[in-house]
Structure 1
Amino acid sequence: MTLSKIAQACLLLSLSTTSLISDATPTRADNDKQLSQVVDAGQEINKSASQSQQRVNVINAQIQTKSQQFKTINKEIDGLTVYNQQMKTQVANQLKELDQIAVSMEQVSIIERQVSPLMARMIETLANFITLDVQFLTTERNKRIVDLHSMMERADVAISEKFRRVLAAYQIEVDYGRTIEAYSGLIDIDGSEQNVDFLRIGRVSLVYQTRDGQKLGLWDNASRSWQPLSAQYRLDINKGLRIARKQLAPDLIIVPVTQNSAE
């Protein structure tokens, strides 16, 4: 059977179209290859992004560390600024104190030159006072004067210490005037040296009693000598000796009074 020309033409057109479609459609192998390339490219992108994120994290950590260090250093700078200001104030005050000390040292030198003669006069006055005073503890009191004179010649004793010792000697003499004391010693009685008990009541009365209690005496500062004392004072003197030795409680006693003491 013979096809018409129109049918033949349609058949040819259909076959050409099918051939063209068949030629334009990719094969399965080509699709797999393209898909693999896309996956590989995506993995490379993810890997690069991960590496970039890691670098960003490292840089961010470094920035945080530097920021913290910056804040710490700023705090240290603020503290040092305050400290330096305080030190400047202290240094200024210390410089003022040094100036005052320098002035004081100059004044001390002047005072020292004036104090030494003053102390010498004080010691001499004290020695004269002891000589004119009621004659009690003469050895001890005269030795104190000798020690003071010796001290004044020493270069290893500061002026302040010398002055303190001179004032201490004066204080001891002052205390004698308001204390009661009993002590033992030797005295020449009728040409014979005897051991006696002395009773001193301030500077108003200085008496003695022999150990056997038979002889009593009173220091008379006007005549600078010992005067015999009536036996009527024996009980009071014994009582006074015991009070001075703290063997009795303080009580009223009657004793003769020394006249014209140096006090």
Structure 2
Amino acid sequence: MDKAKVKRIAVSTAAVTSILLGAAGANAQDARLKSIVEEVNQANQIAQASQARIDKTADATSKLYTDFKTVLKTNAGLRAYNAQQRRVITKQEEEIEKIKRSIGQIDEIKRQVVPLMEDMVKDLNDFVELDIPFQIDERRERVESLRDVIDDPNVSDPERFRVILEAYKAEVQYGRSINAYEASLEDGRSVNFVRVGRVAFYYQTKDGKETATWDQSSRSWVKLDEAYGTPVKQLIRMARSQMPFDVLTLPVKAPVQKGR
């Protein structure tokens, strides 16, 4: 083989080697670039996933914060409500204590009511017995009925008081009225009685022949002169609305003062 041919072969071999080496270097760079791109893409994916997690966490945190503020507001409202309710309960407990004390006082009053009413009836009975003895049977029966009312378990205390007060009012009214009625004396004679308040009390027999006035100091009847027969008869008629009221001259005893 000649030198020229060997030289061409050598050149050709070098060229091929150069081409091969260049191609190998390019392939290596492409592989490295591809690896870098893949790493970048992977990093981007990781970053995106991380950002998504961050966003999700941020949203959750924001929701938790919002919920927390809501809970705080709710708790504040509940604390205010509970405080207000505690004040209400305290007031109610105070009212309950007042009611309990009132009930205790009512029970004490109830224990005193019956003795009080009995005293009132006794005082009224004493008053009737010591008063001018007009319509005495009717008044005694009224007092006796009061005792029955007090002893009746079916009658309430307010009703008992009402009946007793009505009896007192009736006695007061006697002192403001004029009344004539027919009744019997202790000796059994039927006569006409006439009362002027509690100022004067007379009787006159049916035939008009006997007229008397009640003397409270001696608690007895005192017969009057015949001159008073006509005025007393007229007074009886006036009390019965049988004639108009007019001025009459009649004996009137001064009222007896207590302690004399």
On the 8 A contact 1:208/1:217 being kept in 2, the answer is yes
Q: Which runs of 5+ in 1 are unaligned?
A: 1-91
Please state whether the residue corresponding to 1:151 is helix, strand or coil.
helix
Larger RCO (CA under 8 A, 6+ residues apart):
1
Instruction: Give the AA of the match of 1:253.
Output: L
Moved over 3 A (4+): 98-107, 258-263
Aligned-pair CA distance for 1:249: 2.4
**How many residue pairs were aligned?**
168
Aligned-pair CA distance for 1:167: 0.9
Matched, 1:236 2:234: no
On the 8 A contact 2:124/2:168 being kept in 1, the answer is yes
On the 8 A contact 1:204/1:257 being kept in 2, the answer is yes
Please state whether the residue corresponding to 1:193 is helix, strand or coil.
coil
Please state whether the residue corresponding to 1:136 is helix, strand or coil.
coil
Aligned-pair CA distance for 1:193: 2.7
Aligned-pair CA distance for 1:239: 1.5
Identity %: 37
Matched, 1:224 2:219: yes
198, 205, 208: which is aligned to 1:210? 205
Give the direction of change, closer, same or farther, for the CA distance of 1:116–1:262 in structure 2 (3 Å limit): farther
2:83 alignment counterpart: none
Instruction: Give the AA of the match of 1:195.
Output: S
Q: How does 1:11-90 map to 2 (within 5 A)?
A: none
Instruction: Give the AA of the match of 2:188.
Output: E
Instruction: Give the AA of the match of 1:219.
Output: W
Give the direction of change, closer, same or farther, for the CA distance of 1:114–1:171 in structure 2 (3 Å limit): same
Aligned-pair CA distance for 1:262: 7.6
Matched, 1:160 2:158: yes
Q: How does 1:50-199 map to 2 (within 5 A)?
A: 104-188=102-186, 193-199=188-194
CA distance in 1, matches of 2:138, 2:255: 22
On the 8 A contact 2:199/2:255 being kept in 1, the answer is no
253, 256, 263: which is aligned to 2:251? 256
CA distance in 1, matches of 2:206, 2:242: 17
TM-score computed with the length of structure 1 as normaliser? 0.58
Instruction: Give the AA of the match of 2:219.
Output: R
Instruction: Give the AA of the match of 1:205.
Output: A
1:246 alignment counterpart: 241
TM-score computed with the length of structure 2 as normaliser? 0.58
What value does the CA root-mean-square deviation take over the aligned residues?
2.5
CA distance in 2, matches of 1:101, 1:244: 55
CA distance in 1, matches of 2:257, 2:134: 12
1:86-144 Cα offsets, whole Å, 9 max, x none, are xxxxxx9xx89x95776654433222222221111111111111111111111011111
On the 8 A contact 1:152/1:162 being kept in 2, the answer is yes
CA distance in 2, matches of 1:237, 1:104: 58
Instruction: Give the AA of the match of 2:122.
Output: E
CA distance in 2, matches of 1:241, 1:198: 8
1:140-170 Cα offsets, whole Å, 9 max, x none, are 1111111111111111000001111111111
Aligned-pair CA distance for 1:255: 2.0
